[in-house]
Amino acid sequence: MSPVPPPIRGRPERRELTPELAERAIETVRNALPFFTAGTPIIHRAPGGEVHVDVPVMYLNFAVDRVHYDPKTGMPSPKGMPAVSSGGEVSPGRVRERTQKLLKEIHVLDACEFRGPEDCWVVPVAWKSFIILHVRVSADGRELIPDYGLTEEVRRHGG
């Protein structure tokens, strides 16, 4: 008798998405906000001297997303438009400290989207009028989903 191969996880079962599930996902992120902290900045330097800074946002030792940080202005950049600075020195300690203060000013928007391939809600979080984070939440709206790739990058950079 030949061995039976183990199953492969298939696509998640389609469920009915309701406004109540979306509202639960939004509330889950809202409840998590006070626990968000700024991780160690990841500083990318291009050969021409340009600098791009990402600050991981951590929740219970896992990264949930990254804030694009503009070292020239000391402010976050909106999602989709990471700031690129024309070089100069960047103090990781100052960036982290400034981002930690910015995290006290963020708020959850009252709407979210659903991403079928990932089977999760994506809840936008804003600083002033910029969306700066997309926090993923389980389809049932109860659990945050870490950004595992970013979490590994943080651990590689000693954060």
pLDDT tens-digit series, residues 91-114: 999 999 999 999 999 999 999 999
Most confident of 13-22, 38-47, 131-140: 131-140
Phi, psi of 40 (to 5 degrees): -70, 125
Q: Choose between 84 and 17: higher pLDDT.
A: 17
pLDDT tens-digit series, residues 18-70: 999 999 999 999 999 999 999 999 998 888 888 999 999 999 999 999 999 99
Single pTM value for the model: 0.88
Residue 12: per-residue pLDDT: 59
Residue 84: per-residue pLDDT: 84
Per the DSSP assignment, residues forming a β-bridge with 14 are none
Position 14 pLDDT exceeds 80: no
Task: Output the DSSP codes for 89-144.
Answer: ---HHHHHHHHHHHHTTEEE-S--EEETTTTEEEEEEEETTEEEEEEEEETTS--E
Q: Choose between 34 and 10: higher pLDDT.
A: 34
